[in-house]
Structure 1
């Protein structure tokens, strides 16, 4: 089965301002479990915000069954893969393809 988009984040400078703006614009509701992350709770497409500063592109997380194997495959194909990170909801890795485009790989702890 082909890999699909599993999650995405928008990077903003201020999470509280983003919540006020996007909540007011789209009616989104939020759950904040970390100082640098805000999860949108009432959308069918899973998404959230990070406080990494403004960005013109979202960060795309592609769901994979085995993040270690997928990261190794990125390297084999000429891309680069950063350090693995873990959270209560799964394991991930930031990557760059062979042309410099940033993506993330995500192995959830449970099925979507």
Structure 2
């Protein structure tokens, strides 16, 4: 079932505690610490990691897109957790989404089919 599927996403971050607070607060992710330089996260489906072992490089790369049943609630949670809205909610064929920047400047998006 895992063959040729996205299996892991890793973010280089400046501050693991800050990243945990943001993603835990905005999306309810859970965490397992593996020393001072690495933390694994789980969103309920996907596993990834935060590391301070490499410099933050928030520009470029693929756009990570999360799903939300309630897009307005997700946007509110992102703002309350300290994220910046890069593109407010907009419609596209198949649904609506918004883009945000996390505390390290990574741009991600949240979409909904509602």
Band of TM-score, shorter chain? 0.3 to 0.5
Structure number with greater Rg is: 1
Provide TM-score, normalisation by structure 2.
Answer: 0.43
Provide TM-score, normalisation by structure 1.
Answer: 0.44
